[in-house]
Amino acid sequence: MQRKMRIVYAAGPGNVIGTFDRWSKGQEDPSQVSVTFSEQFYDVCSDLDAEGYIIASNAEKKFLKQGRFTLEHRPVSLSNQSSVLYYLGQVLYELSFVISALRFKADVVVGNSTSCFFVLSLLSRLGIKVIPSLHCVLWPKYVSPSKVQSLLWKLNRSFFAKDCLSILSTSEDVNEQVRQVTHNSSRPIVNFLSTYRRTEFEGIAPPGSNRSVFQVLFAGRIEANKGVFDLLEIAKQFESEGRYDIRFNICGTGSAFELLGKQVQEVGLQSSFILHGYCSKSEMQKMFNLSHVIIAPTKSDFVEGLNQVVIEGVLANRPVITSSVCPAISYVQEAVLEVPPDDVAAYANAILKLCDDYDFYKAKQQSCKKLQEQFYSASSSWKETLKSVL
């Protein structure tokens, strides 16, 4: 009897055991709009009749073995420490991952790794194929790597140039950085897209014709480097100019949530700069219905992923204001009003342009429709991309 392929997947910090429980019952994850990567991994293993072992960097330690799957939540040690200890924790985590892959007798390892990819070179030298899965830029696009980061990427060069089978990447920005690390000699790079179900957006109506209040929606982590305090500065500017027809809806939580709320109260903008906190999927659908435009003002010092909110805005038929810090912009350019990174005045002007120039707004809004199909198509999904490599 032929031995089944064994695949190990290093996932991010999500609840992969909870997702598996719902997936095994044919249920969707109620907290996610896009199809989760762990769910797609379970599909890959089932489609290929392979045994799967998924290890998530979840802070709550858990373990489950069921059928063909082994699932584990494994915290990363020293993750809140200073630079040297932080990277030591990353190396130790990768070494524990290597040991688990060897014990599992893996044929293939799919690595959504920390920054210490060079540790995974050990696997390739022991005959195990390694496929890194890159969901974020390797360093902030407009900031030069620090000395420590530069050293790390020198250590990682051999892994990306010769020790991995191929590289899964979410954007051209990631591709360019991989080419930079390897001096244009990387292993083959294959791009994938975030994938969505049409049903998630079918209940969202087109933007309302009532523009007496122009609704601007931010959804994401409430952190300084996500640009939320820049939005407050813009709201203060609009207030001083008598633009009472523009309202900001801020959805999400994060370490800066309380500080942001305090500053909103101090300047008395509670009615025009509304902090909604965490929003469920149904609540986010209501927020999309209410909004006219989506804004993603991520700062240039942030290690950005694709930024799925940019895509979700387009799927909801809303124009998006963002900068090239967000890699998703390359997939939906026609529906985006692009501004220079970190330029608060440019973000303010972009909001006013979409609010006051209805023809311009309508042209951007109508561009959304023709850009949507790529995110519903299974052919460009992480699942199908991984299967094609395997």
pLDDT tens for 209-259 read 788 999 999 999 999 999 999 999 999 999 999 999 999 999 999 999 999
Tokens of 123: 């696997």
Phi/psi zone of residue 124: left (φ > 0), alpha (ψ -120 to 50 degrees), beta?
alpha
Pairwise CA distance, residues 240 & 348, whole Å = 13
For the segment 77-102, the average pLDDT, to the nearest whole number, is: 87
What DSSP designation does 292 have? S
Residue 118 has pLDDT above 80, yes or no: yes
Q: 63 in a domain, yes or no?
A: yes
For the segment 150-158, the average pLDDT, to the nearest whole number, is: 92
What DSSP designation does 212 have? S
Query: What kind and span of H or E run contains 260?
Result: helix 257-266
Which residue segment(s) compose the domain that 336 sits in?
Answer: 199-374
Contact (Cβ atoms closer than 8 angstroms) between residue 116 and residue 143: no
Pairwise CA distance, residues 323 & 309, whole Å = 13
What integer pLDDT is reported at residue 1 of this predicted model?
61
User: Both 190 and 217 in a single domain?
Assistant: no
pLDDT digits (tens, 9 = 90+) for 57-69: 999 999 999 999 9
Contact (Cβ atoms closer than 8 angstroms) between residue 355 and residue 246: yes
Q: 249 in a domain, yes or no?
A: yes
User: Both 114 and 77 in a single domain?
Assistant: yes
Contact (Cβ atoms closer than 8 angstroms) between residue 54 and residue 47: no
User: Both 36 and 157 in a single domain?
Assistant: yes
User: Both 159 and 295 in a single domain?
Assistant: no
Least confident of 32-36, 252-256, 352-356: 32-36
User: Both 217 and 355 in a single domain?
Assistant: yes
- Write down the residue that tokens 């198509």 correspond to: 377
For the segment 383-388, the average pLDDT, to the nearest whole number, is: 97
User: Both 187 and 53 in a single domain?
Assistant: yes
User: Both 86 and 50 in a single domain?
Assistant: yes
User: Both 65 and 131 in a single domain?
Assistant: yes
For the segment 114-131, the average pLDDT, to the nearest whole number, is: 92
Which alpha helices (DSSP H) does 48-117 contain, by range? Answer: 83-104
What integer pLDDT is reported at residue 313 of this predicted model?
97
Phi, psi of 212, rounded to the nearest 5 degrees = -65, -30
pLDDT digits (tens, 9 = 90+) for 6-20: 999 999 898 999 999
pLDDT confidence band for 184 (50 / 70 / 90) = very high
For the segment 194-207, the average pLDDT, to the nearest whole number, is: 93
For the segment 165-190, the average pLDDT, to the nearest whole number, is: 96
What integer pLDDT is reported at residue 88 of this predicted model?
86
**How many structural domains compose the chain?**
2
Q: 61 in a domain, yes or no?
A: yes
User: Both 148 and 205 in a single domain?
Assistant: no
Residue 114 has pLDDT above 80, yes or no: no
What integer pLDDT is reported at residue 383 of this predicted model?
97
Residue 80 has pLDDT above 80, yes or no: no
Q: 56 in a domain, yes or no?
A: yes
What integer pLDDT is reported at residue 113 of this predicted model?
62
For the entire predicted model, the pTM comes to 0.92
User: Both 148 and 221 in a single domain?
Assistant: no
Q: 1 in a domain, yes or no?
A: no
Contact (Cβ atoms closer than 8 angstroms) between residue 271 and residue 245: no
What does R_g of the chain's alpha carbons equal in angstroms? 22
% residues pLDDT > 70 (the chain): 99
Pairwise CA distance, residues 347 & 330, whole Å = 18
CATH number of the domain encompassing residue 314: 3.40.50.2000
42 exposed, middle or buried (CB, 10 Å; 0-12, 13-18, 19+)? buried
Average pLDDT, the chain: 94
Residue 72 has pLDDT above 90, yes or no: yes
User: Both 59 and 169 in a single domain?
Assistant: yes
User: Both 166 and 297 in a single domain?
Assistant: no
